[in-house]
Chain A
Amino acid sequence: MEEKLRTLAQAAKDAVQAAESLEELDGVRVRFLGRKGELTQILRSMKDLPEAERPRLGELANRVRDELEAQLAERTENLKRVLEERRLAKERLDTTLPGIRPTLGHKHPLTWVLEEIKDIFLRMGFDVVEEPEVEYDYYNFEALNIPKDHPARDMQDTFYITDEILLRTHTSPFQARTLERMAPEVPVRVICPGRCYRRDPADATHSPMFYQTEILAVDKNISFAHLKWILITFVREMFGKNREVRFRPSFFPFTEPSAEVDISCLVCGGKGCSLCKGTGWLEILGSGMVHPKELEIAGYDPRKVSGFAAGMGPDRIAMLKYGIDDIRLFYENDLRFLRQF
C-alpha cells in the first residue's frame, strides 16, 4: 500500500510536469483527484485497512494529496503565465500607424489673443466691459476731445450710417461711456475689447474691420509711472519675461502726455531685421494720461483725480505672436489656417 502510494505520487508529479495546457492539467487533476481518481480511490479504500496502519497510511495519503494539489496549483499558475505570455507575444500592433484622433474644434487666433489680454487685465483687477459697435458720433469723437472738423472725423476714414451714428473707429468711446457712468466714483479700472471699423480697403496690413482692446484706470494720484508699471507687466506677461519695453512720446487727441509703447523685436530681439524694419523695436500699444478735458466732460474734477488709458490691436498682436504676415487671413477663414491654432 505504501509502495503503491509512493508510485502514485511520483506518477502524479510527472503527469503534472508533463501537462502543457490547462486542459491537460485538468485531465491530470481528474485522473488522480477526480471522483473516480486514482488517489481518491486509495483514500476511499483506507477504511479497509487494518486499524493499526490506518493512521500512518492515512496521513501519508493525505500528504500525497496535499502535495499533488500544491503541484497542480503551482503548475496552473505557471501555465497561465506562459500561455498569457504566448498570447501577448502574438498580439503585435504596428505602433507606427497613426492614432485615431478625436476631432477637436479650433479656437480662432484672434480669440486666443483676446482671451489672453482679457485674462491678464482681469488678474490685475480690471473689469471687462462691452460697449456698442454702432455708436453715436458724440461718444466716438466729441466726448474724446476730437471736435468737429478734426481730420480723424473725415467721411473718408469713418463708416457713417447717419450724420450722428457711425461704426466706432476705436474702442475709445468706452472711456467716455464708462467715466460718465462711474463719475464721481473711483477707482475705475476697466478693459473694453471689441470690433472697430475704419474705411481702409483690405490689404496685407489693413482691414476695414479689426479688434481693439483698451484699458482705463482713474483714481486719486494716478501717475505716468503707474501707467508704465501696468503696461510693462502686461507686455512681459503677454510676450515673455525678457521683453524690453520702451515708452516713446507720441500724440493722441484724448491723452496728454501720450506714449507709444514699443517692445524689443520678437524675431531679432533688438538687433534689427525686416519685421522691425531694422529698428529692433515693434510698436504694440498706444497709451497716455487721460486728457483732463475728458475727465471734466464726464463729471470728474481733474484737479482731484487722474487716470491713464491704453489701447492695443489684438490683430497686430496675433500677427506678431504667431508670425502671420497678412491680416486678411483672420477674416478669410480658410480652415487650413484656422486649424493651426
Chain B
Amino acid sequence: MRVPYSWLKSYVEVDLQPDELAEKLTMAGLAVDSIERMGADTSNVVVGLVKELKRHPEADHLWVVLVDTGEGELRQVITGAQNLIPGVRVPVALPGATLPGGEKIVETRFRGLLSEGMLCSAQELGLIEDRPEEEAGILILEGTPPVGADIRTVVGLGEVVFNLDVTPNRPDCLSIIGVAREVAALTGAKLKLPPVDVKEYGGNINQCLKIRVDATDLCLRYAARVLNNIRVAPSPGWLQRRLLAAGMRPINNIVDVTNYVMLETGQPLHAFDYTRLAGHEIIVRRARPGENLITLDGVERKLSPEMLVIADSEHPTGLAGIMGGLLSEITDETSTVMLESACFYNISIRRTARQLGIRSEASLRFEKGVDPNGVLFALERACHLIEELGAGEVVEGIIDIYPNPVSPWEVKISPTRIRDLIGAPVSDDFIRSSLQRLGLEIVGDEEHSLTVRVPTFRPDLRQEADFVEEVARLYGFSEIPATSMEGVLSLGRKPRALQIEDRVKEILRAAGLDEIQTYSFVHPGGVDKLRLAPDDPRRRLIRLLLPLSEEQSVLRTTLLPSLLEVAALNQRRKTGPVNIFEVNRVYWPRELPLKELPEMPRHVGVVLAGLRGESSWQGKAADNDFYRLKGILEALLDAFQVEGEFVATTLPTYHPGRQAMLSVAGKEVATLGELHPEVGEAFGLSGRVYALELNLEQLVPQINLAPRYRPWPRFPGVERDLAFLVPDDMPAKSVTAVLKEAGGQVLSELKLFDLYSGEQIPPGYKSLAYSFVFRAPDHTLTEEEVEPVLAAIIKAAEEQLGARVRR
C-alpha cells in the first residue's frame, strides 16, 4: 500500500519527519518497507509540446515526433507509443537526462533516424509501478504546464511516499484514512474525516433504476446512486498527482474519483455508464453456464456459475468486485452514471480472481475484507467529489440493499490478564486510553473487566488475546522488559535417532565424505535409471497433485538418484574427487493413493566416484573401489558395536559381480556395490561409481551408543603367518570360517594381510595370507602349545578347503 505523506496529512495533523513516522508505524505493526522520494533521482526531464507527428518511413509501429521543449528549435524524438496527437504536452527526457533507477538518456538512432531524447510514460518517470501487461502510453500532461519547465514541478515528483506492508489482519489499513486513524492512535493527534455532503438535484433514483440482489450469500450489501449531466474530462492536477503518487494511472474524472475514494476509504467503487445498462436494471447474481464477459482490459472471460456478476436485465456487465465490463465503461460520451458501492463475500472474490488470473486494486481489498458499514460513506464521498469537480449532478435518493446488517460487537477483557500476558506494568488507565485512541468504545467498566464495543472496520478484534496485542503495541514492544523464564528447571533432550544421525554424519565426514542436501521430491524416472525391477517397492511413488515440474513431482523412495545426480553435476563441472553422502528421509506409502501418512524412514546414502581424496605432490590419491565403500560401512558398524553380515546379491542396480547387502539381526539394512555401467550412463556418470544406501531406522534399535570397556589380554600372544592357496572363486568368508573353527579358543586374532594372484600362483587360484595370534588368558603360550593348533589349522584348510599352504 502506497501512502503519499501529503495525502495522509489531510486527515491527521502530524509534523514528524518521514523517517520518524516510518519508525513509529513500523514499530506499531504497520511495517514501512521503504520511503520513496518521488523523482529524487530524476533530472533533465522537461515539458514538451507535441507539434507534429508522422509515421517512421522504415517502421510502421514507430512515430517521428517533433516536439517543442522551449529551446527555440524543435526536437525530433522517435517513440513507439500510440497515444499521441499534436497539441498535447508530454514529459521529454533530454539527452543526458537521468530517470528513476539511474537510466541515462542518450541520442539514439532508430532505423536510421536520430532520436534527440525520449518521451516518457508514467512508469518511466517512476510515478506508477511497471505493469508489463498494460500498454505503456506516454504520460499526457494535464492543463497547460509551461513548455520547457522541469517535470518535477509539474507532476508532483518530490512527494514522499510510504510503502506499507499491511498484514492480512488489518484490511482497514488498505486505505489512507485507515492509516491516518492508526497515526492518530500512535501520536495522539485527532482524526479529521473528509466531507461527504451531497447536494441532490431532484429526480428519483427509484424511478430510473431497479436493483435486485439474487445471490445474497455472496453480496452482503449493495448500494448505488445515479448521477446526471456527467461531463467526462481529465481530472484536475491535484487529483491526478495523488493518484499517481499512490500508484494509479489517471484515466478520467469519473473513474479517477472512484479510484481516489477507494484509496482514501478502502471501499472499492465502480461507475457504470447508465445508458448501457439494459432495462436500467442491476441484478447481482451468479453467472449462468456459458455466459461470457469482456472485461475493461478487453479480454473475453468465460464465466462459471460460482462467479458473482453484476448483470443488467440481459447480460453480465461486470465481474463483481474484480473488474467492470467493457460495454458499460465510462467514455467521453457518458452522460449518466450509476455509481456502485458494495460489499462482496471475500472468499468468492478471491476464488474468481484466482481462477481468471485477474488481480485488481478492488479485488485485493475485497479479498482481505471490506467493512459493510463503510459502504455509504464511500458512496457519498465519491458523489461529493464529482459534484466538487463539477463533473455531474446527483439524482435524489440512494438504493441500499443490506438485508443482514452487521453490528459492532462487544468483547469483555480483563486488564489483569492483559498485564500478565504482556509481562509489563501496564496500568489500567493506559489500557483504557489505548482503546479509546484506537477508536474503540468502552461500554462497561467494572472492577475486574472492561467491555469494549468494536466498530466493524476492525474485524481482527474478536477476543481478549487480540486486545493484548493492541495494548502491547501501543505500549511499545520495546518497552516490555526481557524477563528470564521461571519455574521448574528442565533438561533439553535430543531423541536417540537424532543423536545417531549426528554421529553417523560425524563418522562419514571423518571418512572424508562431503555432506549434501537434496530435494525430497524428484523425477519419477529416477527409479528407471536405477534399473529397478518392475515389482520393486521403491517404484511405488507418492505423486504431488500439482508439482512445479516433472523433475520435482514425486517423493523419493531412495536417496540414490539424488546422490548420483549430484555426483554427475560435480563430474561435469570438474570440481574434484566426488565422495559424498546424504542423511535424509525417504517416503514409502503404506497404500496408494495415500489414506494415512507414509512411512518416512531416515536413510544414509553414499556415492564414491573417481579418486578417494585430493592428490598431492607426493602422489596421486588411490582410486575408489568396492572395498573402500564396504570399509566405510564396516567402520559405521564398528562405531556402533553392531554385528552385521555381508551377503552377495543380484540387484539390477549394481555390477552383477560386485555387490552385497548388509544384514543385521536377520534384517536387510543396506545394499552396496559398484554401480551397473548402464545406471552410471543413465545418470551421465563416467568411470566406476560406488554407492550404498542404508536404512538407518532399521539399524537404530541395534545400536549401542554407550560402549563398555573390555580389558585387553595380559599375556603376550604368539604370532604366526600362513598363506593358503585356494580356488579363485572361494569367498574369503568361507576360508576365515574354517580357520577360526580349527583355531579354537587359543586363536585370539585372525587377519587377512595379503591377497595375491599372478606369478608363482597357478591360474584359477589365489593366495590368501593371514596373520594368526594365539593367546591364552592365564599364561604365555609356549611353542609346544602353539604347534599342534597350527597343524590342526593347516589340516582343516587342506581337508575342508582343498587349500595348499605356502609357508
Contacts and interface: CB of A to CB of B under 8 A. Distances in A.
Contacts of B421: 223-224, 289, 306
The range of chain B's interface size is: 35 or more
Interface string B486-528: 1111111111011000100100111111111111110000000
A141 to B, nearest CB: 15
Contact of A124 (B492, B512, B547): B492
A48 B421 CA distance: 117
A125 B463 contact: no
A225 B594 CA distance: 44
A175 to B, nearest CB: 15
A195 B520 CA distance: 9
Contacts of B617: 97-98
B485 A230 contact: yes
A230 B482 CA distance: 8
A292 interface: yes
Contacts of B566: 333
Nearest to A159: B544
Contacts, number: 255
B598 interface: yes
A149 B502 CA distance: 40
Interface in B539-567: 542-548, 552, 555, 566
Interface stretch (B167-175, B196-204, B297-305, B730-738): B167-175
Given A161-B544, A334-B575, A335-B575, A187 B422 contact: no
A230 to B, nearest CB: 7
User: Interface residues of A: mostly helix, strand, loop or mixed?
Assistant: mixed
A53 to B, nearest CB: 59
Contact of A339 (B423, B466, B514, B542): B514
Contacts of B367: 151
Nearest to B460: A251
A249 B512 contact: no
User: Interface residues of B: mostly helix, strand, loop or mixed?
Assistant: loop
A201 B477 CA distance: 35
Interface stretch (B92-100, B149-157, B467-475, B662-670): B467-475
A38 B237 CA distance: 130
Given A105-B514, A220-B487, A333-B517, A256 B477 contact: no
Given A333-B569, A335-B575, A251 B168 contact: yes
Contact of B618 (A100, A103, A111, A208): A100
Interface string B551-595: 010010000000000100110010111111100110100000111
Nearest to A193: B498
A14 B186 CA distance: 106
A126 interface: yes
Given A106-B514, A111-B505, A122 B494 contact: yes
A134 B483 contact: no
Interface string A82-113: 00000000000000011011111111101100
Contacts of A162: 545, 593-595
Contact of A229 (B483, B505, B509): B483
Given A105-B579, A225-B422, A248-B29, A155 B468 contact: no
Interface stretch (B66-74, B283-291, B608-616, B754-762): B608-616
Contacts of A208: 519, 521, 548, 552
Nearest to A154: B354
A321 interface: no
Contact of B544 (A154, A167, A225): A167
Contact of A127 (B492, B517, B544): B492
Given A251-B168, A251-B169, A291 B465 contact: yes
B493 A199 contact: no
A336 B477 CA distance: 44
B482 A229 contact: yes
B115 to A, nearest CB: 33
A155 B545 contact: yes
A11 interface: no
A306 B465 CA distance: 11
A191 B34 CA distance: 34
B694 to A, nearest CB: 16
A129 interface: yes
Interface string B680-703: 000000000000000000000000
A229 B598 CA distance: 39
> Which of B26, B573, B581 is the most central at the interface, judged by chain A CB atoms within 10 Å of its CB?
B26
B498 A121 contact: no
A330 interface: yes
Given A250-B31, A251-B169, A335 B520 contact: no
B493 A128 contact: yes
A221 B487 CA distance: 9
Interface in A102-154: 102-108, 110-111, 115, 118, 121-130, 132-136, 149, 151, 154
A243 interface: no
B469 A257 contact: yes
Nearest to A278: B34
Given A223-B483, A228-B481, A333-B516, A151 B168 contact: yes
B266 to A, nearest CB: 17
Contacts of B445: none
B294 interface: no
A115 B486 CA distance: 26
List of 5 A-B pairs having minimum Cβ-Cβ separation, nearest first? A223-B423, A225-B423, A249-B29, A103-B613, A257-B469
Interface of A: 97-98, 100-108, 110-111, 115, 118, 121-130, 132-136, 149, 151, 154-156, 159-162, 165, 167, 187, 189, 191, 195, 197, 199, 201, 208-209, 217, 219-226, 228-230, 232, 246-251, 256-260, 277-278, 289, 291-292, 303, 306, 330-336, 338-339
19 contacts: A101-B614, A104-B512, A107-B505, A122-B493, A125-B489, A126-B490, A126-B492, A127-B494, A159-B546, A195-B520, A219-B485, A224-B477, A226-B423, A247-B477, A249-B28, A250-B31, A256-B466, A292-B464, A334-B569
Interface of B: 26-29, 31, 33-34, 167-170, 347, 350, 354, 367, 417, 420-424, 463-466, 468-469, 472-473, 477-478, 480-495, 497-498, 502, 505, 508-521, 542-548, 552, 555, 566, 569-570, 573, 575-581, 584-585, 587, 593-595, 597-598, 600, 612-614, 616-618, 621
